[in-house]
Chains A and B, each alone.
Chain A
Amino acid sequence: MTVLELTQLTHWKMINNGDLELPVTGVYTGDLLSYVMGNGSSGQAWITMQTHQNVIAICSLKEFSLLILVDNNALDAEALESAVENDINVLVSPLPAFETVKKLVQLGF
Chain B
Amino acid sequence: MTIKTYDLIAKDFTNAGSISSDIKKIAKSYDLPQDMIRRIAIACYEAEINMIIHSVGGNIHLTIDDDWVSIDFRDKGPGIDDLELAMTPGWTTASTDAQSMGFGAGMGLPNIKKNVDTFELLSSPKGTLLRIGFKRKGEHV
Measured CB to CB, the residues of A under 8 A from B are: 31-38, 42, 48, 50, 52-54, 57-58, 60-62, 78
Contact = CB atoms under 8 A, between A and B. Distances in A.
B102 A32 contact: yes
A60 B38 contact: no
Contacts of B101: 33, 50, 52, 54
A4 B125 CA distance: 51
Given A50-B102, A53-B14, A34 B20 contact: no
Given A32-B102, A52-B13, A58 B45 contact: yes
Contacts of A60: 17, 21
Interface of B: 13-14, 16-18, 20-21, 24, 38, 41-42, 45-46, 49, 101-103, 105-108, 111, 114
B38 A42 contact: yes
Contacts of A32: 102, 105, 107
6 contacts: A32-B102, A35-B107, A37-B42, A38-B114, A58-B45, A61-B17
A31 B18 CA distance: 20
B114 to A, nearest CB: 8
B42 A53 contact: no
Given A57-B18, A61-B41, 19 more contacts: A32-B105, A33-B102, A33-B103, A33-B105, A34-B46, A34-B103, A36-B102, A37-B111, A38-B114, A48-B102, A53-B13, A53-B16, A54-B13, A54-B17, A57-B16, A58-B17, A60-B17, A61-B17, A78-B14
A34 B105 contact: yes
Contacts of A34: 46, 103, 105-108, 111
A48 B101 CA distance: 11
Contact of B24 (A37, A38, A48, A61): A61
Contacts of B42: 37-38, 61
Contacts of B45: 37, 57-58, 61
A61 B30 CA distance: 17
